[in-house]
Structure 1
Amino acid sequence: MADEATRPLLPAQFGSERASDDQPRPSHQLTTDSSHSSHPFEDKLPVCTTEQKPGSYSGGATMADVANQSSPIEPPERPSVDQPRESYQLSSESSNLSPGEDDMTVYSNEQRLSRSFSGGVQDNHILQAVAADEPSRPLLDGQSSPPEWFSKRTSVDWPRRSYELSSESTPLLHRREDGLIYGTERGLSRSSSFSSRNSPEDRVIKKRSRVPWPTVISLALLTLSVLAILVLAFAAPAAVKEYAQQAAVFKPTAVSIDSTTPAGIRARVQGDFVMDSGRVKNKSVRGIGRLATWIAREVETGPSNVEVYLPEYGNILVGNAALPSIKVNIRNGRHTNVDFLTDLEAGDIRGIHAIAIDWIEGRLGRLSVKGKATMNLKSGLIALGTQVLTDSIIIEEHDFPALPTVDILKLKVHDANSGAMAVDVLVSSLIDSPVALTIPALGFDILVPNCSPGDPYILVADARTSAIDIHPGQVTAVGVEGLIQRLPDELTSTCPGREGSPLDFLVSSFMQGLETIIYVRGSDAPLPNTPAWIVDLLHSVTVPLPFTGHALDNLVKNFTMSDAHFSLPNPFAEPDSPESQPTVSALVKVLVALPQEMNFQVDVPQVRALADVYYKEEKFGVLNISHWQDANSTMVDDQDGSSALLVEFELKDAPLQVTDDGLLAEVIREMLFGSETVVLRVAATVDTKVSTGLGRFTVRGIPAEGKVPVKTSIGNSLDQINPRIVSLQLRNTTESSMVVSTQANFTNPTNYSATIPFVDFLILYNGTAVAHITAQNIYVRPGNNSYVPIDFFWCPLDAAGVDGVEAGRALLSSYISGLNTTITVKSHRNTVPSLPDLGEALAVLNVTVPVPHISMPGSPGSDDGDKKPHFIQDATFYLWSSTAEFTLSSPLTENNILITSIDAMAFYEKNEPIGRINNRNPFEVPPGISTSPRLPVDLDMGGVGYDALRKALGQSLEMDAIAKVGVLIGNYMDVISYHGKGIAAKVRF
C-alpha cells in the first residue's frame, strides 16, 4: 500500500503529452501551482502528477479513455473574462484560471482548496490548527471519527461540496452520487441550484452516458483494500497483542545458575514455549490472534531487557535481566524448546536489604512484583517493532520460602596456632531454592545473641565456606571452617540482672539438645574470588541460623562421694531458712566423658553446682553448692578407650534442702535396715571455671547427671552399734523426773560421718513413752565413737501420765533385774527443731535397740563382756545375828542414791523361802562399790530353805530374790521391783 499513496488515480490527459500551458482550462479544474498551498490535509492526499505517463497505469487504458469512447463530448465554449467564477471552482494563488480551459485537472500535494464564500478564511484557520495537531496524534486512537467542527460544516445550511476533503479518514474515491466525472467533464452538483446552473449540453451528456463497469469494479477492489489496510494496521495489532499476552505459556523445566559475574549472575534457563489459544476468552481476539500467528509462524526476539520492580517498596529496582535473541514458533499448539543464558544484575542493594529484613523477621505478609520487558520482535524479514510488555504478580506469605533448618553432622574443635581455636563444622540443610545454583566460596562473620534482644550481636568467629552446590529438593551439605581468635569480654560477662553470660546461655542450650540460634553475616573482608555485589548484599543482611544441639545425656559417666559428712542444722535457726537445712560435705569425684568434637586441652580449676537428688525417680532434696569449690582435673582414658576428664573437688558444708521428708525417711530406713545398695540420682547444673588456650573464663549452666550409690549400713544387725554407757551423772531432778548426763561408746558401721548440733528422740517401752535422749554438739565418725555425751531425760509421768509411770517402773525393774530389755527409739516433731516436718517423717522409723550396758565403776564384770547389770555385786548371810550385808555398785559417778525401803524375800530353788528383809531405815549408796549396812533377816527356821542355808555354812548358796526397793535420787522418788536369780550368797556364822 506504500506505493498506492504515490499512484495517481487518473492520468493527467487522455494523450501521452501534457497540454500546453496556454491552452484554455475550464474554470473548475485544479491548478498545478503549489507554491502557496496551505491546506491542512494536503500532505495526506494522494498525488497525481502531470509528468506521469498514462500508460503507466496498471489497467492499460485510462478511465478517461473509456469515458471518451463511450460518449464523445465537445468542449464547452470558453466563457468570457468578465464572467463570474462559479462558487465551487478551485483556484490557485499563483495564477488566475482562464475560463473555458479544457485541460484535465491534476492533483498535487501542494494544492490548496479554496472557497468563494465569505467564511472561507475562518474555516481555513481551523483546518490549519487541526493540521498542527496531527503529528502528535497517535496512530491508533480509541475511535476513528471526524472531529466535531467538521460535522457542523456538513449541516443542511451549508451543503458539502463533492470535492471537499473532510478528514484524514475520508475515502480517496468519492461516492457515485457525488457525480464526479473524470476527463474534461465537469462535476455535477448535488444540489438543485447547482443543477439549474448547468448548461443544456451537460444534461444531454449525463443522459447519454453509460455505467463504466471496469471503473466500478476497480473502485470496489480499491475500497476493500483500503478497509483491509485499516483493519490490519489499526485493529489487528491490538488484538494480536492481547492474544499474545494471554495465550503465551512458558514452562521452565530447568533453571540453574551457570556462574557469577562482576555485576550479577549468569543463569541458564531451559523450558518449553507454546501458544495456547484456549486461554484467550474473547472469541474475536482469539480468531484474529490465531490467524495472525498462523501467518507469521515464527517470531524472533532481538536482545531484550527485563526489569523487576517492587511497587510496595518505593518501586525500587530489584534487578534486570539481559535476554539473548530467542526464536519461537507462535502457531497454536506448537511447542518450542528454549535453552538460553541470561545475565542477571542486582538493582538497589539497600532496597533488597529492606526486603530481606522483613522476610527474616516474619513481617513480609505479601509482596507485589512488577515486571517490565522491552522486546524487539521480527517475523522473518519483517520487523514488528519494539514491544513493551508489563505484568504484575502478588506473592502471598505462604509462597515465601522458609528459613532453612540446620543440622550439625560433624563438629570438631581443636587448638590452633597463637592460642586461637579452630572449629570445623559440617552441617546439612534443606535449602528451599527453586533453582540449581553454585555458590562461590564466601566469608562470614559468626555472631551470637547478646544479653537482651535489643543489644548488638557479639562477633565470636570468622568463617569461610567452600563452593556450595544447591539442587532443588535435595539436602545440601556445607563445610565450614571457623577460627576463634579470642573470646570477647561481653561474651563471658554476667548479664545485668541475670545469673549467666551470653556464653552460658549458648552452651547450656546446646548441651541440653535445645534449638540454638546463631547469626551469620557476610564478612566485610571478602575472599579474593567473591564478587563485590555479593559482598555488599551479604554484609548488609544478618540471617538467624537455628540448629539443634546434641543432648549430652551421658556426659557424667561416674559420680562418687567419699568421706561423706552430714550435719544437722542449728536447732535455734528459723524454719525454712538456709541455716535450718542439713549440710553435706564429701570428696566428690566426677568422671566427665569428653565429646568427640572436643580435641583441645582443657582444665577445670573450680566448680559449683545446684543438684536435684532423686530416689526411685522421685525428688526428695536439692543440694546447693553455691560457693566455688577448688577442683583438680586430669585427662584420663576411660574403660572404653575414649578420653575423659576426671574432676575431683572437696565438697564442704553444702546445704541439702529437703523437699520430700517422707522420701528421705525411706532412704534412711533403707540405709539402716536394707540389705541392698541405695542408689541416688543426682541431676545438677554445674558452673565451671574453664582454662583453655583462649584464656580462663566461666561457663555456667552445664547440665550434668550421675548416679550416686549409697552403701547400706548394717542391715538388720543393729547390735554392731554396741552401745555402752560409760558414765552417768545426775543433773536436774523433780519428784517425777530426772536428767542424767551420760557418756556413751558406740560403733558407727557406715562410711559417713555427721555433725549433730541438737537431736532429741523419744524412748518407748512397750509402746509407751517414758523418757527422752538428747544429743547436742556431737560429732559421729565412721567406726568407734567413745565418750559421746548424751543426756537422758527420765520423765514417764510427763511423757505418758500414769501409764508412763507404770511403764517406767517396769522398764527399770526389768533392767536392774538383768532381763533382756529393749527400748524403742523414735523421732518426733521436735527431733530436729528447725526441721519439724523431717522429724515427723522420721517417726515411722521405730528403731528398737537393747538397753545400753552400763559400766559400773570398780565392778569386776564391767569389762568382761557380760552385758547384764550387776547392781548387787555380793551378799553375805550371818546365821548368828540373822542379818544380811550387800555389796552394791552404783552407776552414778558423782551422786548418791538413797535407799528408802527394802521389802525382799529370798528363795532356795525358786520356791523354798529362806527369809525376808523388811527394812524402813534409809541408807545411802555412794558412787562406785559400797557395802550396805547389815539388814535384819527374818529366817524361816522350819523350812527347807533354812536347812540348805545351814548346810552351806562357810560356803556359798545360790538363791533367788524378789524385792521392792524404794529409791530417792535427788528429788526423784520411786519404788522399783527387783527379781534376782542365781545370786551367790556367802553364809557365815
Structure 2
Amino acid sequence: MADEANQPLLVAQFGSKGASDDQPRPSYRLSTNSSHDLYHFEYNSKGKTEQKTSRSHSGGATMADEANQPLLDARFGSERASDDQPRLSYQLSTNSSHDSYRFEYNSKGKTEQKISRSHSGVAAMSDAANQALLDEQSSLTERSPERTSVDQPRPSYELSSESTPLLHRREDGLTYGTEQGLSRSSSFASQNPPENGVVKKRNRVPWPTVISLSILTLSVLAILVLAFAAPAAVKEYAKEAAVFKPAAVSIDSTISDGVRARIQGDFVMDSGRVKNKSVRGIGRLATWIAREIETGPSNVEVYLPEYGNVLVGNATLPSIKVNIRNGHHTNVDFLTDLEAGDIRGIHAIAIDWIEGRLGRLNVKGKATLQLKSGLFALGTQVLTDNIIIEEHDFPALPTLNILKLNVHDANSGAMAVDVLISSFIDSPVALTVPALGFDILVPNCSPGDPYILVANAKTSAVDVYPGQETAVGVDGLIQQLPDALTSTCPGKEGSPLDLLVSSFMQGLETTIYVRGSDAPLPDTPAWIVDLLRSVTVPLPFTGHALDNLVKNFTMSDTHFSLPDPFAEPDSPGSQPTVSALVKVLIALPEEMNFQVEVPQVRALADVYYKKEKFGVLNISHWQDANSTLVDDQDGSSALLVEFAIKEAPLQVTDDGLLAEVIQAMLFGTETVILRVAATVDTKVSTGLGRFAVRGIPAEGKVPVKTSIGNPLDQINPRVVSLKLGSTTESSMLVSTQANFTNPTNYSATVPFVDLLILYNDTAVAHITARNISLGPGNNSYVPIDFFWCPLDAAGVDGVEAGRALFSSYVSSLNTTITIKSHRNTIPSLPGLGEALSVLNITVPVPRIYIPGEPGSDDGDQKPRFIHDATFYLWSSTAEFILSSPLTENNILITSIDATAFYEKNEPIGRINNHEPFEVPPGISRSPRLPVDLDMGGVGYDALRKALGQSLEMDAVAKVGVLIGNYVDVILYHGKGIAAKVRI
C-alpha cells in the first residue's frame, strides 16, 4: 500500500507520540493468503519505525515508509519516547496475501520496516482511498488515551484466514492492547479453571493484529460500499471509460417476436477517456478492487423521446463477465434476443426516414443490470443514456439495379415477371432475410392519389453482408391491369402506365413502391409481416434506354401536299401534309417473351437534316397498323409494324434548312437522308388485354433521295397545248398543258404554286399551277398557266429581256430560262417561299408541240416557226410556211422587215411589208410578200443559178406581232433556211 495512505492507520494501531520509550517494543505481523511477501515492522528506541522485507520469488505490493510513518508514530510513540524501551514487533498477515509487513520500533523512536515476500503476488490498494478511513481510526485512539497502558507489554494478534470475522462483538473486548483487554482475558481464564487444578499457561491473543486486520478489512469493505452503493462517480467513470468495439454483429436467426443476434467484440476500460481527475481516480480504484464484473440476465429497452417515448424494442442479454480493470481486454461473444416494440411507432419513424424528414433522432437506452463482483452481489443497477443520431448517419435507401428481367406469359392470361436485382443494402450487420411477400405499386396521376397495385411478388431467403452487393431474385405475377393504370389522367394526355413506360425506355430514374404482404412461407415471423405491411418503401431504379429499339424506318409511296393557298399563315390549313406507307422494324428486348400485337399507331415526329431540326410531322390520328413477328438479320426477334400515314401535317420550323433539303434533292449527287425522331403511341394487345402505351421513343433514318444524278435532266418537260387567255398591251395569260417526268418516288398535290421566270436574271413572266397532282414517273397534260408580263415584272428592263427571250426562242436558239420562288409562291407559307428563292432552277425552254408539224415526233427539240420558203423570180415575191404554237387563237403579223443573205454576208433581197396577215394555229401558208431583190449582187446570181432548185440562205427580220391585245416586235434570226427558187 502507498505509505502516505497508510500513515494514519499505523499511528492509530501502534500508539501516539505520548508513548513511553521504556515500553517493550511490540512486533506486528500482517499477512494475506494472496501474497507471499512478509512485512515486519519494528519500532526502535528512537521512536522511528524500521521496515524489513523478506520476499520470496514472486512479487508483492510494498508499503511506502513515508506513508506509514504517522501510523507508526501513533502506535509506538513520538520522538519523545525513550530509546531504551524494548522494541515491539508486530506482524500482520492475511489469507489473500503472501507478503508480510514487519515493523520494529528502535530505541531512537524511529520505525524500521522489514518486508519478507514469498513466491505469490498481491494487489496493492490505492493509498488515497484508505487515507480517510485510517485517519478516522487514528483519531479514535487519540480520543481515548486512558485506555492505553504504557507499562504493559502489547500482545501480538494474527489474523490468518478469510473466515475470521471482520466485525467483532463488543463483548470480545477488541482493544488496541489496553488494560481493559487484558483484564477481560484474565477474567475469562478465571471463569474456566482447568479440571485437574493445574493452571496451564495460555497463549496470549494478538489483539493489535486483530484490530489492524479488522480495520484493513473494513477499509476494503468501505471502498466497495462507497464504490457501488453510492455509484455516482463509478457510474460516470464506467460510462466514459467503457469501450466496446464490435468485431462482428450478425442475425443468427429469427424468432416469433424478433430476431436473435450474435454479437462479438472486445471490451476494455480506458481511463484516459475520463476527463474528471477525481472520477478517474475513484473509478480506477473501484474497478481495480472489483477486478471483474459479472452481469446476470439483463434487459435493455430503447425509446424515442421525440416520438412520444415510443418503445422501439428491447433486448434480452445473457450473463456476461468482463474484466473492468483499466487496460484489460475481454473478448465478448454472446447471443441476444431483440424484440420489436410498438409497430405503429416504428412505422412513424420509417415514414419520416423514407420521406426525408428525419433530420436527427434522439435515442434513449435504458439497461437494467444485475451486477456481481466475485462473491459480492452489487445489486440492481439501472443505466440510461441518450444518443443523438444525425441525418448523415442514417442509412440511405437502397438503389436498385436490374440485372435481369424476363417477362413471359403465364396461365389464365396472366403475365409473369422474373427479376434479378442487385442492390447495396447499407446494413451494419450480417443477416438472413426470410422469404417475404410484397405488393408492387406504381405512382398514380397525382402525388396525392393512392398508389396503384399492379403485381404481387415474392422473394426467397436472402443473405445480406455488410459492405457487399446483395442479389435478390423476385418472382412477380400480374393478374390484370387495373383501369386506373391505363386510364388517361385528368387534364393530361397520358396514363400512369404511359409515364412509367416512357421513363423506363428513356433510361430515366423510375420509382416503384413496395409494400409488405402475406409471406409465401408459413415460417416467416408474423412480426416481420406486420411491420412490412405498415411501411411503403419507394425504390428508385434506372431503366434501360432503348436507343436501338427501332432498327429500320422506311417511308414508301410518299405523297406531299401543299397547303390551301387561301389559308391563313401559321394556321393548321397552311401546313403541307405528308402521306406515306411507313414500315418500322422494332427490335424486341430479350426481356420480352410474350405475344404482342400493335393494331394502331400514332406519332409525333421531329424531322432533322444534318442534325438540325426543320419540321415536325404530326400524326395525331390513330392509324391502323399490322404487326408481324419476324427474325432479323442477326437472328434476334423483331416486330415489323406497317401503317399508312394519311395527310399528316408537316409543320416547317426552319424554312432555310428545308430549302437546303430541296436543293440537295434537285441538284445534289449524293443520297439525301433525313432523321426522324418520334414519340409513338401504340395500342398493344397482349394476354392481359388491349391497352394503349404512349410516349415510346422511336428513331430512324429516312432516305428521301438516292443517288440518281441530276433529276432536272430527267424531267423532259414538253408543252402540248397553248391557249391564250386575257391579254393587255404588255401582258398576256396563256393556259398550257405540259408533259414531264418525275424522277423521284414521291408524289405531290399542289393546290397553288406561283413561280417566277427569269431571263438573263430579269423577271419576265410567272408560271402558276393550281390543283395539280404529281406522281412518280410520267405526268401528262398537267395544266400550268403562263403569265407573260415583262413590263410589270421588271419595267423597261423586263420588256427588253422579254423581247430578247422571244427572239431567241423563235430563232430556234438554245434558250434557257430560270425558275425561282418568291414570297408568294405559297401564299400560306410566305417564309418557305422566301427561303426557296435562293434556289435558281435553270431549265431549257420547253419544246412546244405544234399539231401537224412535220417531225414533231422525231425527237428534234428545236422549235421551227418558218418551216419552208419559196422565191418567185418573175414576180419577185416570197411565200412562207409558218407554224403557230397556239392551239385556238390566231397570231396577227402586223409588219415584216426582213433581209435574206447568201453565205451570211451577201444580201439576196429584202421584204418590207406592213400589210397585216394572220397566222392560224398549227401549220399555215403566208400570203406572197413582195421582195426587193438585189440584182447586182452575188446573192442574186446564186438565186438565178438555183432556179428550180433550193438555195440555203440566212434571214434577219423584225416582225411585229399582235396576240390578242398584246403588241410586240421580235427579232428573228434564221439560219440555213432552204428556200425553193421558182420561175
What TM-score range do you get, normalising by the shorter chain?
0.7 to 0.9
Q: 1:724 aligns with which of 714, 718, 722?
A: 718
- TM-aligned CA deviation for residue 179 of structure 1: 9.9
Kept in 2, the 8 Å contact 1:173–1:219? The answer is no
Kept in 1, the 8 Å contact 2:711–2:743? The answer is no
- TM-aligned CA deviation for residue 175 of structure 1: 9.2
- TM-aligned CA deviation for residue 859 of structure 1: 0.9
Kept in 1, the 8 Å contact 2:671–2:707? The answer is no
Kept in 1, the 8 Å contact 2:722–2:735? The answer is yes
- TM-aligned CA deviation for residue 942 of structure 1: 1.6
Q: 1:542 aligns with which of 536, 542, 545?
A: 536
Q: Within the alignment, does 1:390 sit opposite 2:394 as a pair?
A: no
User: Taking structure 1 as reference, are residues 882 and 264 closer, same or farther at Cα in structure 2, changes over 3 Å only?
Assistant: same
Question: For each residue in 1:226-270, what CA deviation from the matched residue of structure 2 results, as whole angstroms up to 9, or x when unmatched?
Answer: 787666534664233332222211111100001111101010000
Q: Within the alignment, does 1:619 sit opposite 2:588 as a pair?
A: no
Partner of residue 594, structure 2: 600
Q: Report the TM-score when normalising by structure 2.
A: 0.78
Structure 2 counterpart SS, 1:647? strand
Kept in 2, the 8 Å contact 1:590–1:646? The answer is yes
- Separation in 1, partners of 2:413, 2:223: 84
Partner of residue 101, structure 1: none
User: What amino acid is aligned across from residue 484 of structure 1 in structure 2?
Assistant: I
Q: 2:979 aligns with which of 950, 967, 985?
A: 985
Q: 1:576 aligns with which of 528, 551, 570?
A: 570
Kept in 1, the 8 Å contact 2:228–2:378? The answer is no
Partner of residue 286, structure 1: 280
Partner of residue 643, structure 1: 637
Q: Within the alignment, does 1:694 sit opposite 2:688 as a pair?
A: yes
User: Taking structure 1 as reference, are residues 224 and 267 closer, same or farther at Cα in structure 2, changes over 3 Å only?
Assistant: closer
Pairing 1:898-937 to 2, within 5 Å after superposition: 898-937=892-931
User: Taking structure 1 as reference, are residues 888 and 305 closer, same or farther at Cα in structure 2, changes over 3 Å only?
Assistant: same
Q: Within the alignment, does 1:412 sit opposite 2:431 as a pair?
A: no
Q: 1:310 aligns with which of 296, 304, 308?
A: 304
User: Taking structure 1 as reference, are residues 219 and 599 closer, same or farther at Cα in structure 2, changes over 3 Å only?
Assistant: closer
Question: For each residue in 1:84-112, what CA deviation from the matched residue of structure 2 results, as whole angstroms up to 9, or x when unmatched?
Answer: xxxxxxxxxxxxxxxxxxxxxxxxxxxxx
**Ranges in structure 1 where 5+ consecutive residues have no aligned partner:** 1-168, 182-209
Kept in 1, the 8 Å contact 2:764–2:802? The answer is yes
- TM-aligned CA deviation for residue 938 of structure 1: 1.0
User: What amino acid is aligned across from residue 909 of structure 1 in structure 2?
Assistant: E
Structure 2 counterpart SS, 1:813? helix
User: What amino acid is aligned across from residue 488 of structure 2 in structure 1?
Assistant: T
User: What amino acid is aligned across from residue 771 of structure 1 in structure 2?
Assistant: A
User: Taking structure 1 as reference, are residues 220 and 463 closer, same or farther at Cα in structure 2, changes over 3 Å only?
Assistant: closer
User: Taking structure 1 as reference, are residues 228 and 604 closer, same or farther at Cα in structure 2, changes over 3 Å only?
Assistant: closer
Structure 2 counterpart SS, 1:246? helix
User: What amino acid is aligned across from residue 357 of structure 1 in structure 2?
Assistant: I
User: Taking structure 1 as reference, are residues 965 and 378 closer, same or farther at Cα in structure 2, changes over 3 Å only?
Assistant: same
Question: For each residue in 1:203-228, what CA deviation from the matched residue of structure 2 results, as whole angstroms up to 9, or x when unmatched?
Answer: xxxxxxx9858699899998898787
Kept in 2, the 8 Å contact 1:670–1:712? The answer is no
Structure 2 counterpart SS, 1:535? helix
Partner of residue 819, structure 1: 813
Q: Within the alignment, does 1:808 sit opposite 2:808 as a pair?
A: no
- Separation in 2, partners of 1:176, 1:285: 33
Kept in 2, the 8 Å contact 1:236–1:288? The answer is no
Q: 1:233 aligns with which of 225, 247, 251?
A: 225
Q: Within the alignment, does 1:421 sit opposite 2:415 as a pair?
A: yes
- TM-aligned CA deviation for residue 304 of structure 1: 0.5
**Ranges in structure 2 where 5+ consecutive residues have no aligned partner:** 1-135, 149-176, 183-206
- Separation in 2, partners of 1:356, 1:717: 72
Q: Within the alignment, does 1:270 sit opposite 2:289 as a pair?
A: no
Question: For each residue in 1:383-425, what CA deviation from the matched residue of structure 2 results, as whole angstroms up to 9, or x when unmatched?
Answer: 1111111111000001001111111000010000110000000
Q: Which has the higher strand share?
A: 2
Kept in 1, the 8 Å contact 2:666–2:711? The answer is no
Partner of residue 28, structure 1: none
Q: 2:653 aligns with which of 655, 659, 668?
A: 659
Partner of residue 753, structure 2: 759
- TM-aligned CA deviation for residue 914 of structure 1: 1.2
Partner of residue 633, structure 1: 627
Partner of residue 324, structure 2: 330
Structure 1 counterpart SS, 2:264? strand
Partner of residue 781, structure 1: 775
User: What amino acid is aligned across from residue 866 of structure 1 in structure 2?
Assistant: D
Q: Within the alignment, does 1:968 sit opposite 2:962 as a pair?
A: yes
Q: 1:255 aligns with which of 240, 249, 252?
A: 249
- Separation in 1, partners of 2:552, 2:178: 125
Kept in 2, the 8 Å contact 1:275–1:332? The answer is yes
- Separation in 1, partners of 2:688, 2:710: 56
Partner of residue 188, structure 1: none
The answer to which of 960-969 and 329-338 deviates more is 329-338
Q: 1:771 aligns with which of 749, 765, 770?
A: 765
Kept in 2, the 8 Å contact 1:248–1:274? The answer is yes
Kept in 1, the 8 Å contact 2:730–2:789? The answer is yes
- Separation in 2, partners of 1:662, 1:397: 56
- Separation in 1, partners of 2:214, 2:367: 39
- TM-aligned CA deviation for residue 287 of structure 1: 2.6
Kept in 2, the 8 Å contact 1:256–1:436? The answer is yes
Kept in 2, the 8 Å contact 1:873–1:888? The answer is yes
User: Taking structure 1 as reference, are residues 211 and 696 closer, same or farther at Cα in structure 2, changes over 3 Å only?
Assistant: closer
Pairing 1:119-134 to 2, within 5 Å after superposition: none
User: Taking structure 1 as reference, are residues 581 and 550 closer, same or farther at Cα in structure 2, changes over 3 Å only?
Assistant: same
Kept in 2, the 8 Å contact 1:508–1:701? The answer is yes
- TM-aligned CA deviation for residue 955 of structure 1: 2.1
- Separation in 2, partners of 1:937, 1:545: 105
Structure 1 counterpart SS, 2:809? helix
RMSD: 2.3
Kept in 2, the 8 Å contact 1:568–1:754? The answer is yes
- TM-aligned CA deviation for residue 523 of structure 1: 1.0
The answer to which of 446-455 and 211-220 deviates more is 211-220
Kept in 2, the 8 Å contact 1:713–1:749? The answer is no
- Separation in 2, partners of 1:717, 1:633: 36
Q: 1:400 aligns with which of 374, 379, 394?
A: 394
- TM-aligned CA deviation for residue 771 of structure 1: 0.6
Partner of residue 81, structure 1: none
Partner of residue 42, structure 1: none
User: Taking structure 1 as reference, are residues 251 and 603 closer, same or farther at Cα in structure 2, changes over 3 Å only?
Assistant: same
Q: Within the alignment, does 1:339 sit opposite 2:371 as a pair?
A: no
- Separation in 2, partners of 1:353, 1:236: 40
Q: Within the alignment, does 1:495 sit opposite 2:478 as a pair?
A: no
Q: Within the alignment, does 1:512 sit opposite 2:518 as a pair?
A: no
Kept in 2, the 8 Å contact 1:519–1:542? The answer is yes
Partner of residue 458, structure 1: 452
Structure 2 counterpart SS, 1:964? strand
- TM-aligned CA deviation for residue 312 of structure 1: 0.3
Question: For each residue in 1:770-806, what CA deviation from the matched residue of structure 2 results, as whole angstroms up to 9, or x when unmatched?
Answer: 1111111111111111100000010111111111100
Question: For each residue in 1:36-86, what CA deviation from the matched residue of structure 2 results, as whole angstroms up to 9, or x when unmatched?
Answer: xxxxxxxxxxxxxxxxxxxxxxxxxxxxxxxxxxxxxxxxxxxxxxxxxxx
Total equivalences in the alignment: 794
Structure 2 counterpart SS, 1:639? coil
Kept in 1, the 8 Å contact 2:363–2:386? The answer is yes
| Identity across matched positions, percent | 84
User: What amino acid is aligned across from residue 359 of structure 1 in structure 2?
Assistant: W
Partner of residue 791, structure 2: 797
Partner of residue 709, structure 2: 715
Structure 1 counterpart SS, 2:763? strand
User: Taking structure 1 as reference, are residues 717 and 646 closer, same or farther at Cα in structure 2, changes over 3 Å only?
Assistant: closer
Structure 1 counterpart SS, 2:247? strand
Partner of residue 674, structure 1: 668
- Separation in 2, partners of 1:222, 1:645: 101
- TM-aligned CA deviation for residue 714 of structure 1: 4.6
